[in-house]
Amino acid sequence: MTALLEVRDLEVSYGHARALNGVSIAVARGSLTAVVGANGAGKTSLVRAIAGMLRPSRGEILFDGIDVTGLDTNATCELGIGQVAEGRQIFPSLTIDENLKLGGALRRASARRAVNLDRVFAMFPRLAERRRQKAGTLSGGEQQMLAIGRCLMGDPQFIMLDEPSLGLAPLIARQIFDAIRTLNRQDGLTVLIVEQNANHALRLAHRAYVMVNGLITLQGTGAELLQRPEIRAAYLEGGRHSQ
C-alpha cells in the first residue's frame, strides 16, 4: 500500500522544551496505524502538528503527496484530515444534532451531509435516540461517540484519534475500539490512533510505532510489537501504563 501520510524528521518545541525530536512515520492508505507511548511521550504533539495546530521547527508532513507542513487547521480539514481530540472537546451546551451539524460545515462535506449523518447514526444508534439532548448530559462513552461522529461529518479520508479510550470503562472502551475497527476495515477509512492503551491499539494496528520522550524507539506490525518483551513488560503485564 502507498503512504497517504508521511511525516519526515519532524521537530516540535514548546519554548525551549522539545516535544518531538526527529519523528518519522508513514501511514499507508487504507491502513490502521498506531502510535503508543506513555503520557508525555509526544503523541498529542504529533497529532496537533499534522492537524495544523502546531508549527514544526523542522521536518515535513506530506498528505496524499501534498506538503501540508505548517498549514492551518482549516486547510488540513478541507484536504480530508480529520481529528478526534483528546478529551473529546464536544460543545456541551449544544445538542447532538447541533454538534454534528458543526462537524459538517466544511465545504468538502457539503454534498454528503445527509449521507454522513445517516452513517453516524447507523454506527452509533444511541446518538440517534438522543439527537436533541444536550451533549454535556451524555456519558463519557456517548461523548466519545459524538466526537467521532462530528469528525466523520467532515467527510475525512484520514482520521486521527487522540487517546480515544481515555477515562472510559473497559467495556465502553472496547465498543469505541470496535467502532474504530469498523471505520477502517469496513468503511476503508485510513486511521491513525495514538494511545496509552497499547493492548487494544496494537491488536487493531496493521503498523505501529512506540514513542518515548519525543522519539520513535520501536516500529513494526502491531502483532510484532505485542510480542516484544519490553512492550509486554511496560504495557501488558501489569506495567503502570496498562489498562
pLDDT tens digits, 32-49: 999 999 888 999 999 999
What pTM does this model have? 0.92
Grade residue 192 by pLDDT with cuts at 50, 70 and 90.
Answer: very high
Rounded to 10 degrees, the C-alpha dihedral 178/180/183/188 comes to -110
Where do the structural domains in the chain lie, given as residue ranges?
1-80+158-164+187-243
Kindly calculate the radius of gyration of the chain based on its CA atoms and give it in whole angstroms.
17
Cβ–Cβ under 8 Å, residues 196 and 210? no
Across 158-195, b (16+ Cβ under 10 Å) vs e yields: bbbbbbbbbebeeebbebbbebbeebbeeeebbbbbbb
pLDDT one-digit tens code per residue, 200-222: 899 999 999 999 999 999 999 99
For the 1-80+158-164+187-243 domain, the top CATH level (class) is alpha beta
